[in-house]
Amino acid sequence: MEVFEAELAALRARAETLASRHMAADAAHTEAKSKLQRHHLEAPLDADEKARGKLEAAVATCAVTREGLADAIRELRKLIADADQKIATERAAIERKAASNQLARDLDAVERILPEYLDASRRFVSALEALHHHFEATEIARFVANATAQIEVAAAFALQELRGTVAAIYNGSTPLPAPKLKSEPIAVIEPETPTIAVFMMKSAKFRDHDGRSQFAGQFEDATMPVRTAQRALRESVAVPTTDPRRAQLRGVRGGDFAPDAPDVVDLDAAEEPKAASPNVDPVMRAAVFTKIDRSAETRTIEIDAPRM
C-alpha cells in the first residue's frame, strides 16, 4: 500500500506540473498564431519572407509542444487510473483478509463455548427432572431439553457453513459480512408550548414559558402563554385579534413605549379567579342571578293557630 500510494502521489504531482505547462504552451500557441495573422494582415505584400517563416516556425513549435504535453497528460491519466485500481485492489484484499480472520476467531470462540453450553443445559435439565412432581419445573425441563437438541443440530450445520465462508471471504467469492447495525438514540421532539396572539389595549409585562420577562406595547399584537393571554383578556388588558378596534388602533403609538412606566400592567401579578365549588350543579353555576335588597320592605304574614 505504501509503495502504491507513493507511486500514485508522484504521478499526480507530475500530472499537475504537465497540466500547468500545457496551459502555458496553449497560450504561447495562441499568441504565435495571433502574431502570424497580424503579419499576414499588416505586413507589406513584398516584405521579406524570412519574417513570415520565423512566425510560422514559432507556431509549429508551439503546436508540437502543446500536443506533446497533451499526449503525456493523457498517458499519465491512464497510469493514475491504473495506480488507483491497484490501491483499491490491495485495500479490498486487506479488508477481506481482516474480515476472514475476524470470522475465524468468532467461530473459534463459538466452538469453544458451545460444548460448555450444551453440557450446562443437560445438567440443568437433569436437576429439573428431580422435581418431576412440579408441573412448571417439568415444563421448563422439557423446553430446555428440546431447545438444547435443536441448538446442537443447528449449530453443527451453521458452523460448518461459516467455516467455508472464511475461505470464500478471503478469496473474494463472497462479499464482506455486513457490519452490525447500531441502535441510534431516538431524538425526542419536545412539543411546542401553546401560545395565543392577542391585541394589547394597554401596555403590559409578563413572563414567557422559560421565565424570561417580556413586554407587550399598547396597540400592538403580542404572543403570550395561554394562561397569561386569558388573564389579559379577562382583565381587559387585551382583546382578541379579531376585534374591529385592532384595524383602527394597531401601531398608532409608533413604538413609543416605556417598559418601566407606572401604567404598565403586570399580568403575572393579576389574581386568578377563584375556582367554583365542585359540588355546585353546573346548571346553577351557569345561571345568572340578581340579588335584590328587600330589607326595607315591611311584610305581614298571617298564620293559623289553635286557640288555648
For the segment 133-162, what is each residue's pLDDT rounded down to a tens digit? Answer: 899 999 999 999 999 999 999 999 999 999
Residue 280 has pLDDT above 60, yes or no: no
Cα separation, 250 vs 220, whole angstroms: 6
Whether residue 32 is predicted with pLDDT greater than 60 in this model: the reply is: yes
Q: Using pLDDT thresholds of 50, 70 and 90, give the confidence band for residue 74.
A: very high
204-207 β-sheet, strand order: 213-216, 204-207, 265-266
Distance CA 209, CA 195 (A): 9
Q: Which residue is it, cell 440443568?
A: 124
Average pLDDT, the chain: 85
pLDDT tens figures, 170-189: 888 888 888 888 877 777 77
pLDDT at 6 over 70: yes
Mean pLDDT within 72-97:
91
